[in-house]
Structure 1
Amino acid sequence: MAKRLIPSLNRVLVEKIVPPSKTNAGILLPEKTTKLNSGKVVAVGPGARDRDGNLIPVSVKEGDTVLLPEYGGTEVKLGDKEYHLFRDDDILGTLHE
């Protein structure tokens, strides 16, 4: 049975994107050139409430590619896959091609 995690409040579940460590021609790339902290949004919470009780929705949606901070997030393992939980306001931005 596959588990599905629905984040609470303004949290976002992200699967980090691991860039290739070598080119198509087989040339190994240095770690620094392959390091971009990005991930794909897998699930989002409903949002948080402000002081007046109004719902503030999460600013990203499932399927978005996001830029993540270098540190932070909570590691979550579901089955054999590894994910990270971030608060909406910890996400630095969305990446578009």
Structure 2
Amino acid sequence: MFIRIVKMGFQPEKVETFLSDFKSIKTKVRGFEGCLFLELYRDKSNTNQFFTYSYWENEQALENYRNSDLFKVVWKNTKQYFNQKPEAWSVDKLVSLD
């Protein structure tokens, strides 16, 4: 399993637009071949800061998504609302407790 965390900061006046956009595409992203899990988090103190957290079958599945027409549309729309450079991490899960 391949885990990707992306941190994004938005212009405060564009947050609601981003949330609306995310609501309309989240099922398509989650349904993309190889995507096993998708969540969106919002920072409690800096409310224009968001994080996506996704699980992929493997690194190639994420790359397939990143090279897809879906991603190109999503990223083009999303990046216009940024107020800072996004950051991304690829991580391995070491421990999970229920």
- Quick check: TM above 0.5? no
Higher strand share: 1
RCO comparison, higher one (Cα < 8 Å, 6+): 2
Higher helix share: 2
The structure with the larger Rg is 1
